[in-house]
Amino acid sequence: MRQKKAISDAVIERLPLYYRDLLLLQDAGIDIISSEKLGERLGITPEQIRKDLTCFGAFGKKGVGYYVSELCQQIVEIIGLQQHWKIGIAGIGHLGWALANYKTFGRLGFRTTGLFDVDHRIIGQNVGGVEVTPISEMGEVIQREGIQIGIITTPAAVAQQVADQMVAAGIRGILSFAPLRLTVPDGIFVFREDLSIGLSRISYYLTNKKD
């Protein structure tokens, strides 16, 4: 499926929202949905949905809507979820533990095959079906398992060092929960999730809401 033009980050960020909701529709036994109904479910205008999908080709049938299973598969191909990406998680504290047990990863086409920590109390434990190994062996496991994506949930003080180790071992993309900007070579994709920023935004809007 060939893209017609450069696609904005905003469009790319909405595609997983469409895919996740389409999976729910599949589970509910719904075969066809209109852009209007899909928009109502997601809080996105039907015009925006149609515009987003048009970036990648022609989808759906005029006067009928989108065939749910077909659009699901098309979005899988657009995002690249058919690659069955392998994930390694560094830092198996509360957040890392939760992510290791996050079942939706598998349904989205991601498979966790490496867990790493420095705490001897955690090393050797089986978490979500994967044994936690010492972070000193992370590079070896990444190369052996062919892990392409790394998730960092370590303390900020060691996050850059962990990122360096991941990149050196062949990691191509990193999702970091550490509250700092990571420096990586060109060609490595890094995205940061910061829960404190999200909570602070909520705090701002609650504090400044109109009566």
Alpha-carbon gap, residue 4 to 110, rounded angstroms: 27
Question: Does the annotation flag 124 for ligand binding?
Answer: no
**What is the b/e burial string over 66-85, where b = at least 16 CB atoms within 10 angstroms of the residue's CB?**
bbbeebbebbbebbebeeeb
Question: Does the annotation flag 92 for ligand binding?
Answer: yes
Backbone angles phi, psi at 167, to 5 degrees: -60, -45
Query: What is the DSSP-derived secondary structure letter of residue 192?
Result: E
Residue whose token pair is 């701002």: 204
Q: Among 51, 57, 43, 60, which residue's Cα sits nearest to residue 11?
A: 51
Backbone angles phi, psi at 61, to 5 degrees: -130, 125
Question: Does the annotation flag 95 for ligand binding?
Answer: yes
Alpha-carbon gap, residue 56 to 39, rounded angstroms: 18
Question: Does the annotation flag 96 for ligand binding?
Answer: yes
Binding-site residue positions: 91-96
Binding-site residue positions for NAD(+): 91-96
